[in-house]
Amino acid sequence: LYLNLSKCEFHLDKIQFLGYVISARGIQMDEGKVKAVRNWPVPESIKELQRFLGFANFYRRFIQGYSQITAPLTTLLRGKARTLRWIPEAQEAFDELRQRFCLAPVLRHPDPRRPFVVEVVAFSTGVGAALSQLSGNPPQLHTCAYFSHKLSAAEQNYDIGNCELLAIKMALDEWRHWLEGAEHPFTVITDHKNLQYLREARRLNPRQARWALFFTRFQFHVTYRAGALNGKADALSRVFGPEEPSDPDPILPPTLNMGPIVWDVD
């Protein structure tokens, strides 16, 4: 390995690397990239919109609810559209995304010696999650990463319980390099009470059974917290989705009544 000394820097407490600024505090977006998004002109063609979304997608880990914010923009790219039909919803999404870039947080470096917390939320059009850890004095939850996913047409048919379960599955898969084999069992926080019985369920449909098998790779427990208190993740649904049902449909019942089966024996 050969290094060009004139291109090397040593003993720095902050460096710029591939569009990021990395320091002891954590990782954040390069201010030059933030300025570029802040001054980005309104797209006037399909190609210009694709170019903007391609640039923004590189930093989606910093943007809470990225897939929900960009949904009105990605909808314009469906099918074989050759001309851009810029609608008010697209302008609102464009402005919101540029604002989120300016307010993007510093994401803390994950510390494998500390327990993780995964906060999840689901609503009619998407799921979201936040990966956090306790640090500081007094201890506070600090975000390490955000994740969001826009539901497909088939996934939008799931009830709220199955959507919450999907959110857990996708979040654990996204951060499996930190969570699988973690030194400490981690906590999953959800606003769907029935998911507390996830490990006790005995009757699952094929999809839930596959997910349950996937969950066996991780050591975690599920904790309920009301949606109004589930700040980081639930903010996605408050801004970009309808309110959660006041009485969500059960997914994994705490009790199950079994009836006898009788047949004749010759």
Q: Between 247 and 210, name the one with better pLDDT.
A: 210
- The pLDDT of residue 200 is 64
- The pLDDT of residue 121 is 87
Selection from 142, 148, 96 nearest residue 121 by Cα: 148
Is this prediction's pTM over 0.95?
no
Q: Reply yes or no: is the peptide bond before residue 138 cis, omega within 30 of 0.
A: yes
- The pLDDT of residue 91 is 92
- The answer on pLDDT for 176 being more than 60 is yes
- The answer on pLDDT for 99 being more than 90 is no
Q: How confident is the model over 3-23, as a mean pLDDT?
A: 86
Selection from 236, 80, 246, 213 nearest residue 151 by Cα: 236
CA distance 157 to 163: 9
Q: Domains in the chain, ordered, with CATH?
A: 13-102 (3.30.70.270), 116-240 (3.30.420.10)
Q: Between 194 and 147, name the one with better pLDDT.
A: 147
- The answer on pLDDT for 236 being more than 50 is no
Q: In what order do the strands lie in the sheet with 186-190?
A: 140-150, 126-135, 116-122, 186-190, 220-224
The total number of residues written for the chain in this structure: 266
